[in-house]
Structure 1
Amino acid sequence: MSGLLQGKVAIVTGSGQGIGRDVAVCLAEHGAKVITNNRKPGSSLDAFEKTEIPFTDEERAALESVKGDAKTTADRIVAAGGEAVPFFGDVGDFASAGRMVQTAIDSFGRIDIIVNNASSNWVGNIADMDEELWDISVVSKLKGAFNLIHHALPHMKAQGYGRILNSSSDAFLGLQGYAAYGAANAGIVALTKAAAGDLRGTGITVNAYTPLAKTRAWYNAAATYRMQGVPAEMIEAGAPEAMKRTAEGMVPFLAYLASDDAAAISGNLFKLAADGEIGLWSQPEVVRQITTDADAWAIDVLRERVPGELMAGLSNDEGILPVR
């Protein structure tokens, strides 16, 4: 393809399969040398941690067709004429993240691009969540992003160039059943905006994106709905169009953000969908307020004005939202 990223070196975490694999392959196609990554050789059919789904033969075959690990992705890049080195290790572990960055330096002499794509997820009611289930989502996604940023920044600052791309999710809005995962992804948005400000003027940009495409998680979600008695045609009809397509067509936008051309773009949250949509999320803003001239709010005034003005016409009943 193009030489857009010629001479650049990238790390893509969680790039053994799914969107991460497509990102790694795309960056390589545009000239980047890539460190591919997942926790250990091989992969599981289960997208949701601590959750076992009895897949049908058809579902199992579909999942087998999309599974892979850091080595299979690196092999694919090399077979196409690119350069890639696999790294097996958990980015949620601080020392492991440091070794991943050092692998890029030892293999290719520099690190220019990091794509914090890795994540783990447990889906369920917060009343059933314990510390381990919380950590499954928060450590891999949020701490993992910090770990890699921390270890890569000294090299990026020394060379005056860096592109940090953080994968978030629309779960940051607070989707039912995704308390920990949503919190981790909301943290990614805040981390991105704060880091972009901290690094302004250094040649390093930081952006985040919420991807939506057909991945292993979609197959797991469809199997879960099937187990709940939802007909296959209803599952297909209810899925967003982007979840019916794989990610190859949407990831070139990330290659663009990683390039010299995007030097002025930092601190943003983008929506990225496999059906062709690229969007820019709005900045949060106060949409309604009440004020008082008194020194302190009186409870009887709040009882009247909160439901009558501040919360008028609003409902907290959002219903059950689909598995992402």
Structure 2
Amino acid sequence: MLLVLYSTPIAVAGPGLQPAQLALVVNDAEPNSVAVGEYYRRRRAIPVANVVHVRIPGKPHELDAQRFARLKEQIDARLGPQIQAVLMVWTAPYRVECNAITGAYTLGFDAGQCASTCAAGHASPYFNAAAPARPYGDFRMRLSMLLPTESVAQARDLIDRGVGAGFRLAPASAYYLTTSEKARNSRAAFFPPAGRIAARRLAIRTLQADALEGARDIIVYQTGMAEVPKLDTLGFLPGALADHLTSLGGDLLGAGQMSSLRWLEAGATASYGTVSEPCNHWQKFPNPNVLLKNYLQGDSAIEAYWKSVAWPAQGLFIGEPLAAPYRRQAPHPD
């Protein structure tokens, strides 16, 4: 199955997710969550009424289904029908048994996936949804993302990158790497063809390589590796999306494989990873064609990322959700 998305000119989508449609969930038992949540609220002008306070002591990596159900009920009770998305302001918890906390929150906890984590997942109705779409209004689902808070300074830098993403349209490149780790190349068939999209000042670069080194114009970087080298040599533009297809990138504080946190630390604005063994179904990872198409059409990071994953139960979406570098940008001559 190959999606062809570049036969017609890229169009600018509707207004997309707005700050008043985003709820912040702050963990009052974790000082970093409180500090970062308030910084984000002010930087994005999130209404005070959209802030939900919860208490999750001890920073557990995982919640069981029952404890998560109580947490979700507490959050949902505070949300009005205008809320289309939720940002959880903490690093942990990030997992609900075998589900990612974002997958469980948005689509409901999928106990069946835990019986066999390598089995096919339930299809997301939001996958490649036509824009504009109001997730709650159209699908009765609220998108969700995690804003990590291990370092307040790094979290503020991340937020500032997201806020700055729409300031101007910069020349950029989207990089797609087919690597020597063959099992992790399952989405290579969906890499967009190399070339240029002049109206977005974007170069699409597809490479046969295990690492990208020295690039300073990254707006998208997608690869398949358990550990991605040379991140310290790279320069990510504000609003950059970056992820690697591997089993446990979403195990943020684990030691088995490279955590998706490393992308944010390197300068990306949003990322994705799975929290339990998904096997290499491309449907459980961001589809490169769908992600790029929707981001270039003006979707925010949370909208574009959620639209790009067909089976997202095990997938953790992290970063600054409102980054939208291509929203309402007029064409620019190359």
Q: Same fold (TM over 0.5)?
A: no
RCO comparison, higher one (Cα < 8 Å, 6+): 2
Q: Which has the larger helix fraction?
A: 1
What TM-score comes out, normalization by structure 1 length? 0.31
TM-score scaled to structure 2, two decimals?
A: 0.30
Larger radius of gyration: 1
